[in-house]
Chains A and B, each alone.
Chain A
């Protein structure tokens, strides 16, 4: 009897873990584990946010300022989702509020999409082929 129960429990548990592959839906805690599985071109659009200081110098921000948490992929997805949902003005304000206490001080934030050759980038070609500015906002003082 106990073995029968354990068999059913085990079988159901394994089928449930495998289920996302059948329904092709990634979720949590059950997942299709699609990390890095999709094809990517070497020329890619990377969504990000940048800051400018009073002299107009462009500066990179941190994942914590961009996404509100320390994880870089969370920050990246936050920006991409805001762009897809045309919600970048709100995100820009959010980032500006988080950047207010940053030193050296920033005066402006931009939510951007930069196009890079991701292979050539590490050969020194760090200047993006194109930049689309989705939103721009002042950093509160």
Chain B
């Protein structure tokens, strides 16, 4: 138990948590901006289509369209502030909570999409932890205000939030695997459940005027394809906690989970963009090294930009 605690609380460089803030913040801000049209469209739906969930369950009626529009625009602005690390102690928690509110409202129209849960939970962790101590406008302001040395030291405070983000990711996969086992039983692996699900999803898309997956539509003719795919899906989802054991199993699990989502895209034309971009798994790696690889060099060949 203490070994696990020591690993969980192992000191970490501040840049890792900051790198997560930047990429998760950028993802959320762009996601909201791109989704603005959809959010404004559903906000205008008749009140009888409204079915508030989660923290908005207290709402009996939809909000005024202008309130929703204002909330979305404010969330985008706060997302930009969060990404840049501006007044993080205020904007971090505010953005996290407003993102929960906006995405909950988005899911309150008789359908829970399950595509926004993970990045919203990750954002909450990053919003309430010191993820803007470096690589942020706050850090730049502090450096200008005093001769303080930029924070580059490894501490516990920068380590456990990264591991909490990873743990949340693994929990969501394990929950999805558990749901399949509970609702579909062993038949989900050995029977035709996955095949029929993929066929049904593609037929539904065809009948509702959306693009379906040609590969999925072709493969559903061959029943033998699906039990191995179902087994592999179950291994990825229920096996998620194995990623905690060792660096090698962690890398293998991340690769398998990414391939799983690629398979979902190929067979069902469903784009889980957060995992497919790799951002959902950034906490398992060294996201801070990405920046160090791509940032520009000075004329002397020395990398520019201090660890602030």
Chain A interface (Cβ within 8 Å of chain B)? 2-3, 6-7, 9-10, 13-14, 17-18, 20-21, 26-42, 44, 46, 48, 60-66, 68-78, 81, 87, 90, 94, 114, 116, 118-119, 121-123
Contact = CB atoms under 8 A, between A and B. Distances in A.
A60 B221 contact: no
Interface in B146-197: 156-157, 160, 163-164, 167-168, 171-172, 175-176, 178-180, 182-185, 187-188, 191-197
Interface of B: 5, 8-9, 37-38, 41-42, 44-46, 48-49, 53-54, 100, 103-104, 107-114, 116-117, 120-121, 125, 156-157, 160, 163-164, 167-168, 171-172, 175-176, 178-180, 182-185, 187-188, 191-197, 199-210, 217-218, 220-221
A27 B54 contact: yes
Nearest to B193: A39
A69 B194 CA distance: 27
B199 A122 contact: yes
Given A66-B208, A76-B208, A2 B221 contact: no
B209 A33 contact: no
A37 B200 contact: no
16 contacts: A10-B8, A29-B54, A33-B114, A33-B179, A34-B176, A39-B184, A40-B197, A44-B196, A60-B208, A66-B209, A71-B113, A78-B110, A94-B46, A116-B203, A118-B199, A123-B221
B183 A37 contact: yes
A6 B191 CA distance: 44
B196 A40 contact: yes
A26 B203 CA distance: 25
Contacts of B210: 62-63, 72
